[in-house]
Amino acid sequence: MREGIIPAVLGTVVSASGAALLGSKYKLAAYGVLGFGLAHIILGSIDLVEHR
């Protein structure tokens, strides 16, 4: 399996759950989860590009 695919997929799932939480009363936690997911997507995509 290519290196970086797991963090990218995990980041996608976490970002989607953070985006779903934006409509709740826990907006600060939703932004934190969303940022955490986006960081995983970025780091996973860097790994994918580095290890072609």
Domain that holds residue 14: 2-49
Residues 6+ apart with CB under 8 A from 16: 37
**CA-to-CA distance for 52 and 47, rounded, in angstroms?**
9
pTM: 0.88
What's the confidence (pLDDT) of residue 19?
Answer: 96
What's the confidence (pLDDT) of residue 29?
Answer: 96
- Total structural domains within the chain: 1
Q: How big is the chain by its Cα radius of gyration, in Å?
A: 12
Mean pLDDT split into 10-residue runs, the chain, 52 residues: 89 97 94 97 94 80
Handedness of CA 11, 16, 17, 23 (dihedral sign): positive
